[in-house]
Structure 1
């Protein structure tokens, strides 16, 4: 089952190309993953729905690689922690409710 199919099965319609962007970066290694995160996070951290989707993608990437490429999983975990902490500390009201509803 693809990430998109998994999300649709759980009632979530993708809004970004983050999954594809990180899947391309995966082919080029850790530096490309970090660069992709840096650009996506800086560009979209103020857009709560896109930030939420970024966090979902990072979480799924951790699980995608936890057995096969632990160094990728470790990087994705640290990126997820950064983005998740930002969301919890900065989102308020409806935006925070949306974040918790989607990521729960």
Structure 2
């Protein structure tokens, strides 16, 4: 199993963005994804953070705009990882998100 320590500050970055609303979360995602989607460890962190944020909001309020947004962002990042990671990088991703 892959260690669950994050290599990034993504959890904190998204938490800060939430204070400014869904548009700020979307902007944070776009900047993070653009800058780090080619790094499999950072991409893995991003997918895990988005999933944790999604579930956190879903548990509080399934109808929250953050719940829907995090679901959309998680699905996009997860699909990208599954479509683009290969070999040991995909293995790392799958073990981490399992």
Identify which of structures 1 and 2 has the higher relative contact order when contacts are C-alpha pairs closer than 8 Å and 6+ apart. Answer: 2
Where does residue 17 of structure 2 map in the other structure? 25
Normalised TM-score (structure 2): 0.92
Cα deviation for residue 11 of structure 1 reads: 3.9
Structure 1 runs not aligned, ≥5 long: 1-9
1:3 corresponds to = none
Structure 1 outlier segments of 4+, above 2 Å: none
Q: Provide the C-alpha distance between the structure 2 equivalents of 1:82 and 1:39, rounded to a whole number of angstroms.
A: 14
Distance (whole Å) between structure 1 residues aligned to residue 74 and residue 3 of structure 2: 22
Task: Tell me how many residue pairs correspond in the alignment.
Answer: 95
Give the match's secondary structure for 1:13.
coil
